[in-house]
Amino acid sequence: ILASATTENGVEDYTSNLVLQGIIKEEEKQKLVDSALEVLNHPELKEILSSATESITEKNIIDANGKPHRPDRVMINPDEVIILDYKFTLEESDSHIKQVDSYRSLLSEMGYRNIKTYLFYAVKGKLKLV
């Protein structure tokens, strides 16, 4: 949901489509909507998401060895690129940092500059610049 929607209407539309496709049940929808909106309404995250000129979600970046890497969201602005990865765990891990660092390296190799990387720990509601 978070990879596909950044607004309340987007979350509603996306979850309604999940119900229509039979992926979730109608009675599960509201809980998912509430959880997604809790994340999207986080003040710092909301500011980052709303500032993006272009937002790319869940798209593979292929490295020199042909291995795909898939950041949750890449936001491109005139003066910076922001990589955002959502984590749904209580524990913060060095592997999470290594993961977004690899995304940063790939985008740098593609010619992007001024790249910021964030991890958002949804369970804790914590946005971390790494």
pTM for the full model?
A: 0.85
Over residues 97-110, mean pLDDT: 97
The answer to whether residues 88 and 122 touch, using CB atoms and an 8 Å cutoff, is yes
pLDDT tens string 80-96: 999 999 999 989 999 99
The answer to whether residues 104 and 117 touch, using CB atoms and an 8 Å cutoff, is yes
Indicate the DSSP class of residue 70.
-
| pLDDT band at residue 6 using 50, 70 and 90 as cut-offs | confident
What percent of the chain has a predicted confidence (pLDDT) above 90?
78
Domain boundaries in the chain?
8-40, 53-129
Indicate the DSSP class of residue 124.
T
| Identity of the highest mean pLDDT range in 3-7, 38-42, 54-58, 118-122 | 118-122
Which ranges constitute the DSSP H helices of the chain? 8-20, 26-40, 43-51, 94-109
| pLDDT band at residue 102 using 50, 70 and 90 as cut-offs | very high
Indicate the DSSP class of residue 36.
H
What is the distance between the alpha carbons of residues 11 and 66, in angstroms, rounded to a whole number?
33
Phi, psi for 6 (deg, rounded to 5): -125, 0
Measured CA distances, 12 to 17, 21, 54 (Å): 9, 14, 21
Location of structure tokens 């509430």 = 34
